[in-house]
């Protein structure tokens, strides 16, 4: 009986998540009649361009391959 109840609850949760996910899709909304035809045909408004931060100008390189693959670093064991 407990297994049946737990399976029933899991099935209900899965069905709810699938239903909500499907209802958010525009084609499904149109098929179910949740939005009118005229509203579905209108394109969403474009987002304004977000200004980007300028790239920092650093002369020094932060990492070198010699640091990562150094034989001294890989084979020396500190006590």
Q: Would the pLDDT of 27 be above 70?
A: yes
Question: From residue 21, how far is each of 11, 15, 34, 45, 58 by CA, in Å?
Answer: 15, 10, 14, 23, 46
Residue range 60-69, pLDDT digits in tens: 566 666 666 6
Report the pLDDT value the prediction gives residue 12, as an integer from 0 to 100. 97
Confidence of residue 71 (pLDDT cuts 50, 70, 90): low
Confidence of residue 7 (pLDDT cuts 50, 70, 90): very high
As a whole-number percent, the residues of the chain with pLDDT over 90 amount to 22
């Amino acid at each position: 009986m407990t297994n049946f109840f737990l399976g029933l609850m899991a099935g209900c949760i899965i069905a709810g998540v699938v239903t909500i996910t499907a209802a958010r899709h525009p084609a499904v909304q149109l098929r179910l009649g949740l939005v009118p035809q005229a509203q579905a045909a209108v394109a969403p408004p474009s987002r304004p361009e977000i200004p980007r931060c300028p790239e920092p100008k650093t002369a020094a390189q932060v990492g070198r391959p010699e640091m990562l693959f150094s034989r001294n670093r890989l084979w020396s064991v500190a006590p």
